[in-house]
Amino acid sequence: MYQHAEGVKQDYLEALKWFKQAEAQGKVESKEYIEKLEKPSR
């Protein structure tokens, strides 16, 4: 939602927070999104 600005202002830090919470709850697929958001852009 925050990553793609679906109904909210785009906010990668907020998206990262939610993906980390999901990962902590066992949502394995969140790790891929976390890696993409933490990866420095070139």
Q: Which residue in 39, 28, 25 sits closest to 12, CA to CA?
A: 39
Q: Single out the residue of 36, 12, 38 nearest to residue 1, CA to CA.
A: 12
The rounded mean pLDDT for the chain is: 85
* Residues comprising the chain, all counted: 42
Give pLDDT tens digits for 24-35.
999 999 999 999
Which whole number is the average pLDDT over 2-21? 83
